[in-house]
Structure 1
Amino acid sequence: MSMTFAGRVAVVTGAGAGIGRATALAFAAQGLTVVVSDVDVVGGEATVRQIEASGGTAVFVRCDVTQEADVQHLMEQTISAFGRLDYAFNNAGIEIEHGRLADGTLDMFDAIMAVNVKGVWLCMKYQLPLMVAQGGGVIVNAASVAGLGAAPKMSIYAASKHAVIGLTKSAAIEYAKKKVRVNAVCPAVIDTDMFRRAYEADPRKADYAAAVHPVGRIGTVEEVASAVLYLCSEGAAFITGHALAVDGGTMAI
């Protein structure tokens, strides 16, 4: 796999923890300059310090992806500081729903859709023209296996991730001849702080989550980061409009 990343610039949203942080670190390890973005200033700045401690280059820009002005500012700051945007991992997302569809609330629906769908749309809205103007680029959006099938008791979340895949595929076709590739990663259950918070009260649920995956364990943030880097690499130059499951075989059942 060709990993010609040195000298390039990547933006990662939701990079203050979990998959976003792991991907920012992985980009930096390949020689990229990374623009770390999150609503969590403490987490985002901690990611920058980790990158710098390893000899990499990174800056933090606070961004609430539900706010158009914030997203526009993030992209403007990237171009102002580094003059280009080669890769974007639109990772910011939330998961706050654990109940049957009819038990959901309007506030819950609006919150999930605002971050997971509008946030991805806004990011691409401002990333795509920059990439087209410079002659190309790669966008990877964070979806989920919940966007590839059903997710009982997470119907709003599932709908949001189906929407991310729809945005991804549509943008990929619209911009294919502009040399901008757009793909999505679709993780299953991954060992993140969010996962640990959800299951720390009942270890039996964590064991069940592991058993759901045919490989017999949950995934790691580094494994998802590797998938993102692959989709950005020259080794994936003929891949666009794809939703890549990173799921330990879950969707093969």
Structure 2
Amino acid sequence: MSDDMNPSRRTLLTGGAAVAATMAASAAAANSMDPVEAPSAVNPDGRFAGKVIAVTGGNSGIGAATVRAFAMEGGQVVFGARRDELGRQVEAEIREAGGDVTWVQTDVRDPAQVERFVNATTDTYGRLDVLFNNAGIFMTPALIEDIAIENFDDMMLTNANGVFYGMKYAIPVMKAQGNGVIVNMASVAAHRGFPNTAHYNASKHAVLGLTRAGAQLAKDNIRVTSISPLAVDTPMLEESFEFQGLTYEGMADFFVTPRIMDPNEMAEGILFLASDAATAFNGMDFDATGGQLA
């Protein structure tokens, strides 16, 4: 580094106010304790201008933040989830901000509904450039012997089968058009064996298996990745913490980055994986745990 790019301590203390201010601003921008804010306006020439994106589980939490982020970056977004009223509300809010979004009520446990969702995307916009398989649930924590069989089955149907169905119906579309990107929602639980969430662990380990199997699609110009958050400020996390008698402040002390993550910063990671800047990322999981898996 040149002297011009590496000011001395004396320079900073005696007249280097402008340099110091620049360095302080840079440090603030890179501060791991200050997550990014949600975009507020559409950039018609953004990273996803002309791209068509489909998002499952897009009516709240990370899904809703990602739908908005894609739309603000110029993308045309179709999103689905189970709760119709909430989905229509998210659709209206993003459209009011200028985003191009379409809501399609979808239950990913049903393969016919996932196929309909993919078809609705291509029928509306003519192609499918990015699929974000985000739909997921988090059941009441319990030890293996105490997990109800129907709860285990529902967890796997939603978190694992839903990802499989999305990939199954999106891949032929992407092969036919000659390119595409799939991003799957994994979790820190895909890398750990937490004793009181075996059903959730199993579903997210399955997501990693599907992601790794998808690496072979590179020959068809299709990339498949996944992302693993830790604790993100979503309604699902709030419900889980309330049930267990936990608080955000208390749990943050146990994390390498001592805070709860924000949906908007997860959205930024997902947009990176889906973008043309991530062409070397394929068949791998993106650690978004703030260092918890280090």
TM-score (norm 2): 0.82
CA–CA distance in 2 between the matches of 1:176 and 1:204? Answer: 43
Which consecutive residues of structure 2, in runs of 5 or more, have no partner in the other structure? 1-45
CA–CA distance in 2 between the matches of 1:200 and 1:28? Answer: 32
Q: Please name the residue that 1:73 is paired with.
A: 116
Superposition pairs of residues 12-23 of structure 1, within 5 angstroms: 12-23=55-66
CA–CA distance in 1 between the matches of 2:151 and 2:100? Answer: 37
CA–CA distance in 2 between the matches of 1:229 and 1:7? Answer: 15
2:164 alignment partner, one of 97, 121, 124? 121
Whether the 8 Å contact between 2:183 and 2:270 is mirrored in structure 1 is yes
CA–CA distance in 1 between the matches of 2:158 and 2:186? Answer: 12
CA–CA distance in 2 between the matches of 1:130 and 1:201? Answer: 42
1:111 alignment partner, one of 147, 150, 154? 154
Matched, 1:184 2:242: no
Q: Please name the residue that 1:232 is paired with.
A: 274
The Cα offsets for residues 61-97 of structure 1, whole Å up to 9 and x where unpaired, read as: 1111111110111111111111000001100001103
Superposition pairs of residues 21-60 of structure 1, within 5 angstroms: 21-60=64-103
Q: 1:152 to 1:206 in 2, by over 3 A?
A: farther
Give identity over the alignment, percent: 39
Matched, 1:215 2:257: yes
CA–CA distance in 2 between the matches of 1:172 and 1:82? Answer: 26
- Give the AA of the match of 1:228: I
Q: Please name the residue that 2:52 is paired with.
A: 9
The Cα offsets for residues 149-175 of structure 1, whole Å up to 9 and x where unpaired, read as: 2222001100110000000110122x1
Relative contact order, higher structure (CA 8 A, sep 6+): 1
CA–CA distance in 1 between the matches of 2:194 and 2:245? Answer: 21
Whether the 8 Å contact between 2:140 and 2:240 is mirrored in structure 1 is no
Q: Please name the residue that 1:159 is paired with.
A: 202
How many residue pairs get aligned? The number is: 249
Matched, 1:146 2:189: yes
State the Cα distance separating 1:238 from its structure 2 match.
1.0
Q: Please name the residue that 1:88 is paired with.
A: 131
CA–CA distance in 2 between the matches of 1:36 and 1:44? Answer: 8
- Give the AA of the match of 1:210: A
RMSD of the alignment, in Å? 1.3
State the Cα distance separating 1:198 from its structure 2 match.
2.5
- Give the AA of the match of 2:253: A
Q: 1:210 to 1:23 in 2, by over 3 A?
A: same
Whether the 8 Å contact between 1:218 and 1:248 is mirrored in structure 2 is no
- Give the AA of the match of 2:232: I
Whether the 8 Å contact between 1:147 and 1:161 is mirrored in structure 2 is yes
Whether the 8 Å contact between 2:129 and 2:179 is mirrored in structure 1 is yes
Q: 1:59 to 1:206 in 2, by over 3 A?
A: same
Look up the SS of the partner of 2:290 in the other structure.
coil
CA–CA distance in 2 between the matches of 1:54 and 1:66? Answer: 31
State the Cα distance separating 1:209 from its structure 2 match.
2.1
Structure number with greater Rg is 2
- Give the AA of the match of 1:176: A
